[in-house]
């Protein structure tokens, strides 16, 4: 439902139920016919706006979206209504992410893909969509491959699936996500492959990334990379395999040799789309949002409401 239509429904309902105006008076005030007023009131009930009390604008998904944008400097925030079943809500969130991504593709030249179960599921849903057009552009991973069986942690496979469906050209990062030594890392970051991907990262205009938490499952070799630093410095959040505290400040590890897009180009991506999984820890989401990286957000209504009730 568009914002203008929602405001009309709320206005008519407030006049009728709170101000005790007749439908004829409302019709005159709004400049519409009396049957139109009746239709608005009926729709307000169907949409759940009128129950025991009339919802204010701020308590609607659109109102929460606007407040999230204002609080965290977002360009847009898609707030997905919650269902009784958590899995159904999660699927609705993935569908919303696909819808939004398809809106961005016509103006996207280079798309960077994050990793994990959520990004994998979004790509799977996209693969089953009937697309009316093919797009042009490049898609590449934002991080190397992990030694985890799940496809979500093999970003080159995600890029392949995305390219096959959309017409984008896939570029691959031939590298592990977590080299164990500086020497091993240096072997990869001096290759032509890495440097070609690095050049793409610097020009990436759209990214699809999960806003995750700490501790994370599967673990990102954190003990080897950070020792106890993530615990002592109170990590709450992760983006790709960068870790942050509640305030969005990065926590660095002396032995962190991860191969992923550097923070400088990551922070400059014009259309960084952040995905908050359903039921995510509020502190994790806030820490990610406080980095300022996300420009667009996909989140469920319950989690958004909890965030807005938390002092940040």
Query: In angstroms, what CA-CA distances link 84 with 81, 88, 140, 275?
Result: 10, 8, 36, 21
C-alpha torsion angle, residues 257, 260, 266, 270 (rounded to 10): 180
pLDDT for 52: 47
Give me the half-sphere count of Cα atoms (radius 13 Å) on the Cβ side of residue 69. 13
pLDDT for 132: 87
Question: By C-alpha distance, which of 299, 307, 309, 289 is closest to 246?
Answer: 289
Question: H helices of the chain, where?
Answer: 3-13, 23-30, 34-46, 61-72, 86-104, 117-127, 155-166, 182-189, 192-201, 222-226, 229-232, 263-267, 282-289, 301-308
How far apart are the C-alpha atoms of 72 and 205, rounded to whole Å? 20
CB 7 within 8 A of CB 57: yes
Average pLDDT over residues 181-186: 96
Confidence of residue 120 (pLDDT cuts 50, 70, 90): very high
Give the predicted TM-score (pTM) of the model.
0.81
pLDDT for 2: 79
- Residue extents of the structural domains in the chain: 3-46, 61-308
Contacts of 123 by beta carbon, 8 Å cutoff, 6+ apart: 113, 158, 161, 162
Q: Identify the DSSP state of 16.
A: I
Average pLDDT over residues 249-257: 96
Q: Do domains 3-46 and 61-308 have the same CATH topology?
A: no
pLDDT for 59: 64
Domain 61-308 has CATH 3.40.50.1360: yes
> Domain 3-46's class?
mainly alpha
- Only one residue has tokens 């203008």, namely 4
């Amino acid at each position: 439902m568009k914002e203008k239509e929602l405001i009309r429904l709320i206005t008519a309902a407030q006049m009728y139920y709170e101000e005790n105006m007749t439908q004829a008076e409302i019709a005159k005030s709004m400049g519409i016919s009396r049957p139109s007023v009746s239709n608005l009131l009926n729709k307000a009930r169907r949409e759940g706006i009128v129950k025991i009390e009339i919802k204010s604008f701020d308590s609607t998904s659109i109102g929460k979206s606007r407040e999230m944008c204002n609080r965290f400097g977002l360009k847009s925030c898609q707030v997905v209504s919650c269902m009784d079943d958590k899995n159904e809500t999660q699927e609705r969130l993935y569908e919303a992410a696909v819808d939004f991504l398809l809106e961005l593709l016509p103006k996207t030249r280079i798309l960077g893909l994050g990793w994990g179960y959520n990004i994998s599921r979004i790509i799977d849903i996209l693969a089953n969509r009937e697309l009316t057009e093919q797009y042009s552009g490049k898609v590449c991973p934002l991080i190397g491959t992990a030694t985890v069986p799940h496809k979500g942690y093999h970003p080159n496979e995600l890029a392949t699936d995305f390219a096959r469906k959309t017409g984008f050209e896939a570029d691959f990062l031939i590298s592990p996500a977590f080299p164990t030594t500086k020497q091993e890392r240096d072997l990869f970051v001096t290759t032509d492959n890495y440097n070609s991907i690095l050049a793409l990262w610097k020009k990436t205009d759209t990214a699809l990334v999960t806003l995750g938490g700490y501790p994370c499952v599967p673990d990102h070799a954190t003990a080897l990379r950070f020792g106890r630093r993530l615990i002592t410095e109170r990590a709450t959040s992760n983006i790709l395999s960068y870790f942050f505290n509640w305030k969005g400040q990065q926590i660095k590890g002396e032995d962190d040799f991860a191969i992923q897009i550097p923070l400088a180009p990551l922070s400059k991506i014009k259309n960084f789309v952040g995905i908050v999984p359903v039921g995510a820890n509020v502190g994790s989401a806030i820490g990610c949002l406080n980095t300022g990286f996300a420009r667009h957000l996909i989140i469920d209504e319950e989690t958004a409401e909890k965030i807005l009730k938390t002092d940040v």
